[in-house]
Amino acid sequence: MNKFYNIFEDFISMFFPNICQGCEQPLTGKEKYICLKCLYTLPKTNFHNSRKNIISELFFGKINFENATSFCFFNKDGTIQNLIHSLKYKGVKEVGEELGKHLGSELNSSIFSDIDLIIPIPLHKKRQKFRGYNQSEWIAKGISEIMNKPIDIKSVIRATYTETQTKKNKDERWENVKNIFEIKLPENLENKHVLLVDDVITTGSTIESCAKTILEVNNVKISIAAIAFVSN
């Protein structure tokens, strides 16, 4: 019975976007995909206001980067988990764009404001074909709209198909994503400050791998932003 209910719930979420993807209550007025109550109660980190935070400490000593942040803490069984689940598994890609706009608003008036372009963490073409879209690209769309910065989805690709990271430990995650990215158009990245965007940061291994590949380009700088951070 529960399985049937979950399938029905997913169906409703996909075809009736006037339901909040955070709490499944009806949207009103100008609300899109996320109601004002859910937006107001999101567990925001405010890491964009400080160069030193939990995210920057996660990457410190592993890669050279300018700034790092996440919009929210990831609370299991909370609103942000529901939103990420809708974005990644229910096909409601517009949730990513909405969250990206709110993240972009924070970044636009912070130490992140001097970025030149936005690169969403690439999906392998096989996984993107299966899902139908790259969730990080939709987050990047929202950020781009607010910050008025271009998105680059051609210069870096995910050349190797890997298993999902979900059930892997820290070491397994790194081995799973090591050397899987490839630069296609280095000239697009030279002398640029790149904002690398992902949906959720857990161990940071995927971002670390992608950033190391990008940093092979001459005179490139990297900052990092995600929608949510899974704290221990």
Query: Do 70 and 42 form a contact (C-beta atoms < 8 A)?
Result: no
pLDDT number for residue 10: 55
Whether residue 4 is predicted with pLDDT greater than 60 in this model: the reply is no
Q: What is the pTM of this model?
A: 0.87
Please give the mean pLDDT across all residues of the chain.
89
Torsion angle in degrees (nearest 10) through CA of 231, 207, 111, 95: -70
Q: Which residues pair with 223 in a beta bridge?
A: 195
Residue-wise pLDDT for 39-93, tens only, equals: 999 999 999 999 999 999 999 999 999 999 999 999 888 999 999 999 999 999 9
Flag whether 136 is in a domain: yes
CATH number at residue 182: 3.40.50.2020
Domain assignment of residue 100, given as a range: 44-229
Segment 34-43 mean pLDDT: 96
Domain count, the chain: 1
Residue-wise pLDDT for 11-22, tens only, equals: 555 555 589 999
Flag whether 35 is in a domain: no
Q: How far apart are CA 141 and CA 201, in angstroms?
A: 19
Q: How far apart are CA 48 and CA 69, in angstroms?
A: 6
Segment 150-174 mean pLDDT: 74
Flag whether 37 is in a domain: no
Which stretch of 83-87, 142-146, 175-179, 183-187 has the lowest confidence by average pLDDT? 175-179
